[in-house]
Amino acid sequence: MMRTAVHMALHILVPGVVARFGFPDRWKESWAIMVATMAVDLDHLLASPIFDPDRCSIGFHPLHTWQAMVVFLVLTAVPKTRWVGLGLCMHMMLDGLDCLWMA
């Protein structure tokens, strides 16, 4: 339970730090967009059970695949989608870190 709480907190805090230091003039807007990318976890609704604290998301859920991550990385190169891409990439990195913590 504690690992899950830390994981969720990181999904809020890490984008906040990146937004504050990476985009200081528009940090609130960039942070809000990067946090909104947590909607990528809607793909968990396709799994049974929907939530399993001992399941690694990477490679399991459709939007947590390597192919999806390549698209997310491409989004970071386009100025209009940069914050969305960064948010999604950070999300995948944090989910990957969670997988490492479970191992």
Render pLDDT for 16-42 as a digit per residue (tens, 0 to 9). 999 999 999 999 999 999 999 999 999
Q: What is the pLDDT of residue 100?
A: 94
Identify the domain containing residue 34 by its residue range.
Answer: 2-102
Q: What is the pLDDT of residue 35?
A: 97
Q: Against a cut of 0.85, is the pTM above it?
A: yes
What is the arithmetic mean of pLDDT over 36-55?
93
Count of the separate structural domains present in the chain: 1
Nearest to 11 by CA among 37, 47, 50: 37
What is the arithmetic mean of pLDDT over 38-55?
93
Task: Please report which confidence band the pLDDT of residue 59 belongs to, taking 50, 70 and 90 as the band edges.
Answer: very high
Matching residue, tokens 């809020």: 12
Identify the burial level of 74 via C-beta atoms within 10 angstroms of its C-beta, where 0-12 means exposed, 13-18 middle and 19 or more buried.
Answer: exposed
- Distance, in Å, from the CA atom of 69 to the CA atom of 71, rounded to the nearest integer, reads 5
